[in-house]
Amino acid sequence: MTNIYVTKSFMPPEGEYEQIIHSVFQNRILTNHGPLVQELEQKLEKFLGVKNLQYVTNGTIALQLALRALNITEGEIITTPFSYVATVSSILWERCTPVFADIEPDNFTIDPNKIEALITPKTKAIMPVHVFGYACDVKRIGEIAKQHGLKVIYDGAHAFGSRYQGKSLLDYGDVSTLSFHATKLFHTVEGGACIVQNDEDDHKLDLIKRFGHNEDEHFSLGINGKQSEFHAAMGLANFPYIGEIIADRKRASDLYDNLLQGCLKRPRPQDGLEYNYAYYPVIFKSETELLDVFNALNKEGIFPRRYFYPSLNTLPYLNSRQACPISEDISCRIACLPLYVGLENETIEHICRIIKDNTL
């Protein structure tokens, strides 16, 4: 039996990718905001219903560029302890201080009721995460930010294709970021994007991602956040299949739902959310139960993954420890089951049998 991992990258037909990159060999434009990058940005803006989408090298750089474009180079940023480590890494790398607000127990996004008490004169921004593609309380977070004069940067690495209250989940905050890593439902092998609400901030971010200069005129400190034509070609090859990708992930998720009903706790989607089926997270009764199930699945060549563990407020290299009891509890008991295009029903049924045998 072939090993089953938590994800498997979607690949377009090889010939379709080759056809797109043929133009790269013809014009020999490999990078520096080439025609394929521009085409992908335009298609994604139209598909998502957003403006000012800038395609960059990865999702972590996207967060760092957002901080720089909004002039946040010091101070405190209120964020969630329940995310991939890149969320906190981007804050630390830009010499800011993460301050952790605990999460909601039902959908694991940052709890807006915990944010306001953490605001100090040093607070510069709020960086929530649309965890697993579920929506943060964007209305309440926006109200808090406006009241206190704070910027909002949404880490939307999981949110591609999710819609909330009639529009893209990525169309909230001052900047929303994306990851197009190979593990994501829409990928460009490596890649990411920034979606910037303000045109002036968008111009700043564009300069910063290309070393801070335009031709021979230098305007600001910058880095290389540009993406290549070969990565854009993969995005353009995958683009026509977005609908099929989400539909097939929904098919697999629905089957999991039916087979695991009443067995494991699942996140509760918000009212008004059109979900993208980015992940299939489940919560076990205890960490011991989770590890027992992992052991049984691993013996069968099936490898789910602990998303997200540990709770980021417990990272050993942080200068101070902040208690986030809900995140710390959930992070010990949550895992994502295999979910990807082409995952066979028989495999899902096998996974669910093993889970039931080790939980009921």
What domains are there in the chain, each with its CATH number?
14-240 (3.40.640.10), 242-357 (3.90.1150.10)
Q: Give the pLDDT confidence score for residue 77 in this predicted structure.
A: 98
pLDDT for 50-71, tens place per residue?
Answer: 999 999 999 999 999 999 999 9
pLDDT for 282-325, tens place per residue?
Answer: 999 999 999 999 999 999 999 999 999 999 999 999 988 899 99
Q: What are the Cα distances from residue 85, in Å, to 65, 91, 242?
A: 17, 10, 27
pLDDT for 60-105, tens place per residue?
Answer: 999 999 999 999 999 999 999 999 999 999 999 999 999 999 999 9
Q: What are the Cα distances from residue 336, in Å, to 20, 138, 199, 266, 345?
A: 34, 25, 38, 11, 17
Q: Give the pLDDT confidence score for residue 236 in this predicted structure.
A: 98
Buried b (16+ CB within 10 A) or exposed e, 13-47: eeeebeebbeebeeeeeeeebbebbebbbebbeeb
pLDDT band at 43 (very low <50, low <70, confident <90, very high): very high
Q: Distance between CA 62 and CA 189 in Å, rounded?
A: 15
Whole-model pTM? 0.96
Q: Give the pLDDT confidence score for residue 1 in this predicted structure.
A: 62
